[in-house]
Amino acid sequence: MFKRKHTPGGQRPVIYGDIAKQTHVLIAGKTGAGKSVVINGVIYSLLIERFPEQAQFIFIDPKRVELSQYKNLPHCIMYASEPGEPEKALRTALYYIECRYKTMQKTGLKKYNGGDIYVIIDELADLMTTARKTVLPLLQRIAQIGRAAKVHIIAATQCPLSSIIPTEIKVNFDTIIGLKTATKQHSRNIIGLPGCETLPPYGYGYYITPSGLTLEKLTMIQENNLKSVVQYWTSRKRLKTA
C-alpha cells in the first residue's frame, strides 16, 4: 500500500462525478467541441476521490496525445497506442470481466463488490476505420456484460457519423453526451434528435442517461489542478516501487 493513506482531494463539477457512475458513456461532437474536457473531467474526479484499487483504467489512445499523461498512474492497467494494442487492451478488459464473473459465481454475488475499471477510448473513429472487424465485437461484448462486473467503457469521437457510431455500439451505451455538431443529422446520429447543432461552440452538451435528457455546462478542469493530481499519484507509485 502507499505510505500516505489518503487521496489528494480537490473540487470538481458534480457532472463529472455523475458521469463516472454511469455504466457506459459515449461522447461525440465536432472537432474542438470539448470531448477532451469531458474525459479529463471524469478522470480527474476519480483521481481526487479514489485509490488505485478503487478505480483502474485501460487507456486506448490511438493519437498518442490526450491520454499519454495518465500512463504512469498506479491506477493504469494498460496504455494502448501502437497498432494492434487497442485490440489487446479490449481483450484485457474482457479477461477482467470473465475473472470477476468467476468470483461472483463462487460467492453467489450478482454484482462484483470490488473496484471499477474504466476503458477510456479517446478516438473511436480511429478504431472503427483501422480495426473495425476485430474491435467492434469486442466493444459489443464488453458493453453487454461489463455492467455486473463493474467494467465501464467511456468512448469519445470527433466524427459523429453513423458508420463510426453504429447501432451495435450505440444500443449498448445507456449514457450519451452530445456536444456541438456541424449538422442536424450528426446530432441525430448522437442523441437521436436535432439540437446539438444549435449548442454554443464549446462548454455545453446534452447529457442523456436512463433518467432523461438535460443540458449541462461542461467546465474545464484547470491544467495546473490536473497536473497536480497526476503528479501526486505518480509520486505515490514511485514510493511504492522504491
70 inside domain? yes
Beta-carbon contacts of residue 113 (< 8 Å; ≥ 6 apart): none
Tell me the mean pLDDT in the region 198-218: 95
Highest mean pLDDT among 86-100, 117-131, 159-173: 86-100
**What pLDDT score does 227 carry?**
95
Looking at the predicted structure, is the pLDDT value of residue 212 above 90? Answer: yes
**If we measure between CA atoms, which residue out of 211, 212, 128 comes closest to residue 165?**
128
161 inside domain? yes
Looking at the predicted structure, is the pLDDT value of residue 240 above 60? Answer: no
Tell me the mean pLDDT in the region 99-127: 95
DSSP 120-151: EES-HHHHHHHSHHHHHHHHHHHHHHHHHHTE
**What pLDDT score does 241 carry?**
46
For the segment 88-100, what is each residue's pLDDT rounded down to a tens digit? 999 999 999 999 9
4 inside domain? no
- Hey, what's the cell of 41? 473531467
Beta-carbon contacts of residue 100 (< 8 Å; ≥ 6 apart): 112, 114, 149, 150, 151
144 inside domain? yes
Q: What is the pTM of this model?
A: 0.93
What's the number of domains the chain is made of? 1
180 inside domain? yes
Buried/exposed code over 158-181 (b: 16+ C-beta within 10 A; e: otherwise): bbbeeebbbeebbebbebbbbbbb
Looking at the predicted structure, is the pLDDT value of residue 137 above 90? Answer: yes
9 inside domain? no
* pLDDT band at residue 242 under the 50/70/90 scheme: very low
What separation in angstroms does the CA of 181 have from each of 6, 18, 163, 241?
41, 23, 16, 45
- Here the CATH number for the domain that contains residue 171 is 3.40.50.300
**What pLDDT score does 150 carry?**
98
End-to-end CA distance of the chain: 12
5 inside domain? no
**What pLDDT score does 5 carry?**
57
* pLDDT band at residue 238 under the 50/70/90 scheme: low
For the segment 26-72, what is each residue's pLDDT rounded down to a tens digit? 999 999 899 999 999 999 999 999 999 999 999 999 888 889 999 99
Tell me the mean pLDDT in the region 188-207: 94
Tell me the mean pLDDT in the region 100-112: 96
166 inside domain? yes
**What pLDDT score does 64 carry?**
84
Q: What's the domain range around 89?
A: 14-241
Tell me the mean pLDDT in the region 141-164: 93
DSSP 149-196: HTEEEEEEES---TTTS-HHHHTT-SEEEE---SSHHHHHHHHSSS-G
